[in-house]
């Protein structure tokens, strides 16, 4: 049992190092080298040499977790909701830590609450929930400059204005942000059309409505930290509602 715990710590340390390096490069350069994923995936392979699933059932669940992570992250990537680095982060993480809080499919005492043992899915759902903090940040920033918030866009319906203040902000000098407005026949209007995260271009105009291009990798890393420290956010929320 001690050996299992030791290798769990190795996997946790590997994942922490991977997310730390990936976030650093993504925030600084908005790009993460594929060599980083290859390196950490190779390190995960070495761990399996010494810590292979201890039972047939655990081996099946491990393979299922990795396959599920690959399928879900690839599907989200193809939809344009996040970039290639986000997809590779989830897939590589699934190789490092496919299951969490279980040993031979037995729930370990003292581990944080979760609906299931699939670590990549817990991290992904945690990341989505944590990313909602941007909504509150946008509302605060927009409230601070409410005097000329919709200047040039007064004609837009209230429904679009409400959506705009929730998902974006009017920025004097945007940096690493995507536009959510456009000019049609000389008239400004909101544009909430989904743009692929991998190919969308950053806004270069001044004093326009934009939505933050904060790398989703940051929220994935935060989702991992939350899983280790608090568990599955959805399990915590629904558990609280049930009580």
Q: Is the pTM of this model over 0.75?
A: yes
pLDDT, position 159: 93
Q: What CA–CA distance (Å, rounded) separates 205 from 175?
A: 10
Say if 136 falls within a structural domain.
no
Domains of the chain: total: 1
Say if 20 falls within a structural domain.
yes
Say if 222 falls within a structural domain.
no
Q: Which domain holds residue 96?
A: 2-113
Closest C-alpha among 122, 4, 111, 113 to residue 55? 4
**pLDDT tens digit sequence for 98-142:** 998 765 555 666 677 788 889 999 999 999 999 999 999 888 888
**pLDDT tens digit sequence for 32-84:** 999 999 999 999 999 999 888 877 888 899 999 999 999 999 999 988 888 89
Say if 15 falls within a structural domain.
yes
> Which pair of tokens denotes residue 117?
């043992």
Helical H segments across the chain, by residue range? 2-29, 34-50, 56-79, 84-96, 119-131, 133-144, 158-167, 216-229, 233-242
Say if 174 falls within a structural domain.
no
pLDDT, position 193: 82
């Amino acid at each position: 049992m001690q050996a299992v715990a030791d290798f769990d710590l190795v996997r946790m340390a590997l994942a922490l190092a991977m997310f730390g390096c990936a976030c650093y490069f993504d925030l600084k350069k908005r790009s993460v080298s594929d060599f980083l994923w290859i390196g950490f995936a190779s390190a995960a392979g070495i761990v399996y040499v010494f810590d292979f699933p201890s039972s047939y059932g655990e081996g099946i669940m491990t393979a299922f977790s990795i396959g599920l992570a690959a399928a879900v992250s690839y599907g989200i990537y193809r939809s344009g909701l996040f970039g290639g680095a986000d997809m590779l982060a989830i897939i590589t993480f699934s190789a490092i830590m496919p299951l969490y809080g279980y040993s031979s499919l037995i729930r370990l005492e003292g581990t944080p609450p979760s609906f299931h043992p699939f670590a990549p899915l817990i991290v992904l759902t945690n990341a989505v929930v944590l990313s909602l903090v941007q909504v509150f940040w946008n509302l605060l920033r927009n409230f601070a400059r409410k005097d000329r918030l919709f200047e040039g866009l007064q004609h837009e319906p209230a429904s679009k204005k409400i959506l705009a203040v929730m998902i974006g902000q009017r920025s004097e000098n945007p940096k690493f942000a995507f536009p959510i407005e456009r000019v049609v026949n000389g008239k400004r209007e909101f544009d909430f059309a989904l743009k692929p995260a991998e190919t969308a271009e950053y806004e270069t105009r001044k004093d326009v409505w934009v939505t933050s291009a904060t790398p989703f990798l940051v929220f994935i890393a935060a989702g991992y930290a939350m899983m280790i420290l608090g568990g599955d956010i959805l399990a915590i929320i629904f558990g609280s509602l049930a009580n």
